[in-house]
Homo-oligomer: A and B are copies of this chain.
Amino acid sequence: MPSSTSNVSIAYRKLKQAILENRLGPGTQVLEQEAATQLEMSRTPVREAMLMLQKDGLVEMRPRQGMRVLPITVGDISEIYEILEVVEGLAIRKLAEKPINEKEARALEDSVTLMDLSLERGDLSVWAAADKKFHEDIVKFSGNVHLETVFLQLWDRSQRARNMLLKAHGAPVNSAQEHWELLKFIKEGKAAEAVEFQKSLRAEAAEQICKMIFDVMGGMVPS
């Protein structure tokens, strides 16, 4: 459905992208008719897309005010990362506890290699995509389908903050190195070490983002 060509899907994808890329910043309100005109379709599919975004926890629909992009606070980020830690932790544990699949290992290596390359080239958007793919693959390869939907939802909810961090501070310089290390633990079947290591990575990432949010938009979070 996300790749469908229906107007609902198009509206959903475009609005979501605009929100995640902070072109529609926190607090922005968009009337149904405005978006419909912009997207060159009627209000019905736009409205349906907005309802879906509300379910995603990205916007809120208020009577007479269309949708309003939800603010994202330091508190939200630390909460979300706290959950991501245990969710991804579960995935890593499951993955490390079973013999590694060659194809899957290759996919993970490819992602980290791409992170390395894009870091050299300074291509932030490729780096971000590779980073996401790595973590998404870990969850996917864990074999728990429901885990994937939970993970993706949390990832999306924190995406805006990561994008802000990326713009403000660039990609974390030692991220590829750290991912190689995590992958090594997984391949060696060292579940406990892998989980522990990921824990520290997540905590570090959360701290960075929180600091950044505080700097960039401290106080100016719309309520």
A80 close to B146 (CB less than 8 A): yes
A92 to chain B, nearest CB (A): 11
A146 close to B51 (CB less than 8 A): no
Given A150-B150, A154-B150: A82 and B76 interface contact (C-beta under 8 Å): no
Interface size class of A (residues with CB under 8 A): 20 to 34
A146 to B56, CA, bound (A): 12
A147 to B55, CA, bound (A): 15
> B residues within 8 A CB of A157?
146
A:55-107 near B, CB below 8 Å? 55-57, 76, 79-80, 82-83, 86-87, 89-90
> B residues within 8 A CB of A90?
82-83, 86
> Does any Cβ of B come within 8 Å of A145's Cβ?
yes
A68 to chain B, nearest CB (A): 14
A119 to chain B, nearest CB (A): 30
> Does any Cβ of B come within 8 Å of A44's Cβ?
yes
A15 to chain B, nearest CB (A): 14
A87 to B84, CA, bound (A): 10
> Does any Cβ of B come within 8 Å of A17's Cβ?
no
A1 to chain B, nearest CB (A): 8
Chain B residue at minimal CB-CB distance from A61: B1
> Does any Cβ of B come within 8 Å of A144's Cβ?
yes
A-B contact pairs, 17 of them (CB 8 A): A8-B51, A48-B51, A51-B52, A79-B146, A79-B147, A80-B146, A82-B90, A82-B144, A83-B87, A83-B90, A83-B144, A83-B146, A86-B90, A87-B87, A146-B154, A146-B157, A150-B153
Report which A residues bind B (CB closer than 8 A): 8, 44, 47-48, 51-52, 55-57, 76, 79-80, 82-83, 86-87, 89-90, 144-147, 149-150, 153-154, 157
